[in-house]
Amino acid sequence: MVDLNAQYDSIKSEIDGAISGVIHDGAFVGGKYVEQFEKNFAQYCEVKHAIGLNSGTDALYLALWALGIKEGDEVITTPFSFFATAEVVARLGATPVFVDIDPNSFNIDPELIESKITKNTKAIIPVHLYGKPAQMDKIMELAKKYNLYVIEDACQAIGAKYQGKRVGGIGDIGCFSFYPSKNLGAYGDGGMLTTNNSQIAEKIKLLHNHGAKIKYHHTHIGVSSRLDGIQAAILDVKLKYIEEWNNKRFEVAKQYNDILKNIMGIKLSEFKLDDKNTHIYHQYTFKVTNGQRDELAKELNKHGISTMIYYPIPLHLLEAMNYLNYKEGSMVETEKAAAEVLSLPIYPELESSKIRFIADKIEQFFNLSC
Ligand X SMILES: *Cc1c(COP(=O)(O)O)cnc(C)c1O
Binding footprint of ligand X on the chain (CB under 6 A):
55-57, 81-82, 84-85, 127, 153, 155-156, 177, 179, 189, 191
Cβ contacts of residue 237 below 8 Å, gap of 6+? Answer: 11, 14, 15, 18
Q: What is the largest CA-CA distance in the chain?
A: 70
Write down the least CB distance from residue 46 to ligand X, Å. 21
User: What is residue 165's DSSP assignment?
Assistant: E
Write down the least CB distance from residue 113 to ligand X, Å. 18
φ, ψ of residue 187 to 5 degrees: the values are: -105, 50
Write down the least CB distance from residue 103 to ligand X, Å. 18
Residue 12 — left, alpha, or beta (φ > 0 → left; ψ -120 to 50 → alpha)? Answer: alpha
Write down the least CB distance from residue 167 to ligand X, Å. 12
49 forms beta bridges with 195
Cβ contacts of residue 169 below 8 Å, gap of 6+? Answer: 45, 46, 47, 194, 196
Q: Which is nearer to ligand X, 59 or 113 (CB)?
A: 59
- CB-based closest residue to ligand X: 56
Integer Cα distance of 69 and 89 in angstroms: 8
Q: Which is nearer to ligand X, 61 or 365 (CB)?
A: 61
Q: What is the CA radius of gyration of the chain?
A: 21
Q: Which is nearer to ligand X, 2 or 266 (CB)?
A: 2
- Please, are residues 81 and 233 in contact by the beta-carbon 8 Å criterion? no
- Please, are residues 163 and 137 in contact by the beta-carbon 8 Å criterion? yes
Write down the least CB distance from residue 63 to ligand X, Å. 11
Q: Which is nearer to ligand X, 118 or 181 (CB)?
A: 181
- Please, are residues 113 and 142 in contact by the beta-carbon 8 Å criterion? yes
Write down the least CB distance from residue 153 to ligand X, Å. 5
Q: Which is nearer to ligand X, 110 or 174 (CB)?
A: 174
Integer Cα distance of 311 and 314 in angstroms: 7
Integer Cα distance of 247 and 349 in angstroms: 11
Q: Which is nearer to ligand X, 117 or 157 (CB)?
A: 157
Write down the least CB distance from residue 330 to ligand X, Å. 21
Q: Which is nearer to ligand X, 253 or 260 (CB)?
A: 253
Write down the least CB distance from residue 235 to ligand X, Å. 12
Integer Cα distance of 86 and 203 in angstroms: 22
Q: Which is nearer to ligand X, 192 or 266 (CB)?
A: 192
Q: What angle, rounded to 10 degrees, do the helices at 293-302 and 352-369 form? A: 130
Write down the least CB distance from residue 211 to ligand X, Å. 22
User: What is residue 150's DSSP assignment?
Assistant: E
Q: Which is nearer to ligand X, 101 or 266 (CB)?
A: 101
Integer Cα distance of 233 and 248 in angstroms: 23
